[in-house]
């Protein structure tokens, strides 16, 4: 059996991710071959099937919704633009003068 195996660097390049992300993909179900205790290799077919499994079809909804800047919560309607503006507005500085 002569199946070409990719090392971590080659597999990461094939997926277009870094090696750390490749390790995280293994936790999410990416199949791999453990050749020895520390040597992990990947089959190209396994990489391709992982991509297929994780491919998401675009949601095509005919319903159009208006873009608003408010949302409802238990306490009523919250205007996030107003809250953000109040949060970023500068408050006047207090002068700490000592009485003479």
Quick: pLDDT tens for 46-76. Answer: 999 999 999 988 877 666 665 656 655 566 7
CA angle 10, 16, 58 (to 5 degrees): 140
> Is residue 78 scored above 90 in pLDDT?
no
> Is residue 33 scored above 90 in pLDDT?
yes
> Is residue 26 scored above 90 in pLDDT?
yes
> Is residue 20 scored above 60 in pLDDT?
yes
Question: For residue 46, with 0-12 CB atoms within 10 Å meaning exposed, 13-18 middle and 19 or more buried, which class applies?
Answer: middle
């Amino acid at each position: 059996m002569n199946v070409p195996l990719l090392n971590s660097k080659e597999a990461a390049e094939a997926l277009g991710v870094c090696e750390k992300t490749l390790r995280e993909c293994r936790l999410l179900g990416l199949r791999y071959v453990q050749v020895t205790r520390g040597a992990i290799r990947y089959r190209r077919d396994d990489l391709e099937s992982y991509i297929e499994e994780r491919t998401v079809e675009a949601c095509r909804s005919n319903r159009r919704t208006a873009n608003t800047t408010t949302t409802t919560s238990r306490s009523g309607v919250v205007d996030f633009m107003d809250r953000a503006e109040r949060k970023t507005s500068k408050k006047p500085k207090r002068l700490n003068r000592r009485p003479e």
